[in-house]
Amino acid sequence: QVQLVESGGGLVQAGGSLRLSCAASGRTCSIYIMAWFRQAPGKGREFVSSIRWSTPSIYYADSVKGRCTISKDNAKNKVYLQMASLKPEDTAVYYCTARRSATSSYDDWGQGTQVTVSS
């Protein structure tokens, strides 16, 4: 099992920036992909971005493409989400998650970090 702890959320004005961090521990050798999802009030959880642990294969949701950058530090077992030009609709709880193969589900989740963007 992989334990994930997010940090870096907060309150920011529209147009501002935030950097989210996710620290992984436990069976980190089993990580294949790490990703960020978010869940806004009253909505389902949606994919934001993912990064393969061993290669720089990266994906972004269309809603954040061009505004967010995902990166990783394998030595520190951390993944980051740099968010810029934030909009009120980016307000959500952001979750870090990991999957252990290309075909497995996202089995390990962090507790989430709140991002609030004021207009």
Write the pLDDT tens digit of every residue in 14-62: 999 999 999 999 999 999 999 999 999 999 999 999 999 988 799 999 9
pLDDT the model gives residue 25: 95
Yes or no: say if 50 and 22 are a contact pair by the CB < 8 Å rule.
Answer: no
pLDDT of residue 17: 98
- What pLDDT does residue 55 have? 83
State in Å, rounded, how far the first CA of the chain is from the last one: 39
Residue 86 token pair: 């934030």
For strands 10-13 and 113-118, give the pairing.
parallel
What is the rounded average pLDDT for all residues in the chain?
95
What is the three-class DSSP state of 23?
strand
Sign of the torsion angle spanned by Cα atoms 112, 78, 34, 11:
positive
pLDDT of residue 101: 87
Residue 8: pLDDT over 90: yes
Mind listing the pLDDT tens digit for each residue in 56-112? 799 999 999 999 999 999 999 999 999 999 999 999 999 999 999 888 899 999 999
